[in-house]
Amino acid sequence: MSQIPLDLPHRAALDREAFFVSASNAEALAMVEAWHDWPAGKLALTGAGGSGKTHLAHVWAAGTGGVVVNAVDLTDADLPGMVDAGAVAVEDVDHLAAMANPRPAEAALFHLHNMLAGAGGKLLVTGKNAPSRWRLTTPDLASRLQAAGIATLGAPDDALIHAVIVKIATDRQLDLDPRLPPFLALRLDRSLASIADALAELDRQALAEQRRVTVPFARQVLSL
C-alpha cells in the first residue's frame, strides 16, 4: 500500500562547506570572495536558475556578516538596519520586471544602494543575466547596477552535477543507491533546477511507496 506523502519542507545546506567548487563556478566564487576589492563596493552575480546564486549569496553573507533579502521584499525591509550590517545581498533583481508595479521596490533598492555606498558597505545583486538585461524602470538605478562588476556561474560540468545530486539527496535525507548519482548525471537535463525537480519527485514517490531510491526505481519514476 502506498502512503500519501506530506509536503514537508527540507532545509538546504547553504554554508561554504556545502558549496562544491568546480571549473564552472570557481571564477565566480573567487570574485565573490574578493569582496574587499570590488570596484565601487558592488558586484552582480549571474547564472541560470538553480546554478547556485542563492547558495553563494548566503556564503558571502556569512563571511561578511551581511544579510540576504529578495528584491521583491525590499519595500517592507528595514533598509537602515541592513546598511548597519555593512553588506547586503539582494537576490533576483531581474524578477522586479514581472511585478505589476516595480517602482516602490526599485526605489527601495536605489536608496539601499546609495546608503551602502555612502557608508562604505558592500552590495551583491543577483539575476539570471547581466544587469543591462534586467528591464529596470528607474534609469538611475539601472545605470548604477550596470556599473557593478559581473561574476557568472557557468553551465554545470559533470563533477558539479554529480556533487549537486549527492547534496540535494543529503538535504532531503534520501537513502540513495550509490550507483544512482552517476546514472542520473548522464541522463538528466544539465540544469541544476531540473536536477532539483527530479530529486524532489524521487523523494515524493519514495515516501509514498516506502521505497529506497535505486536505479530501477529512478528509471521507473523519471521515465529514464
Blockwise average pLDDT, block size 10, the chain, 224 residues:
38 56 88 95 92 89 96 97 97 97 98 98 98 97 97 86 86 87 87 83 91 92 92
Q: Which domain does 53 fall in, by range?
A: 25-152
Q: Specify whether the CB–CB gap between 32 and 20 falls below 8 A.
A: no
Confidence at residue 160, expressed as pLDDT on a 0 to 100 scale? 80
One domain for residues 120 and 204:
no
Which residue stretches of 6-52 are H helix? Answer: 26-33
One domain for residues 131 and 31:
yes
One domain for residues 137 and 72:
yes
One domain for residues 203 and 94:
no
* Mean pLDDT across the chain: 88
Torsion of CA 196, 48, 71, 10, to 10 degrees: 10
With the C-alpha atoms ordered 65, 136, 197, 19, is the resulting torsion angle positive or negative? negative
Instruction: Return d(Cα 138, Cα 149) in angstroms, integer.
Output: 20
One domain for residues 111 and 200:
no
One domain for residues 109 and 180:
no
pTM of the full predicted structure? Answer: 0.76
Q: How many residues does the chain have?
A: 224
Residue 215 domain-assigned (yes or no): yes
Confidence at residue 68, expressed as pLDDT on a 0 to 100 scale? 97
Number of domains in the chain: 2
One domain for residues 62 and 145:
yes
Residue 1 domain-assigned (yes or no): no
Angle in degrees, CA 112, 117, 120, rounded to 5: 120
Of 121, 152, 183, the domain-final residue? 152
User: Which CATH number is 96's domain given?
Assistant: 3.40.50.300
Confidence at residue 205, expressed as pLDDT on a 0 to 100 scale? 93
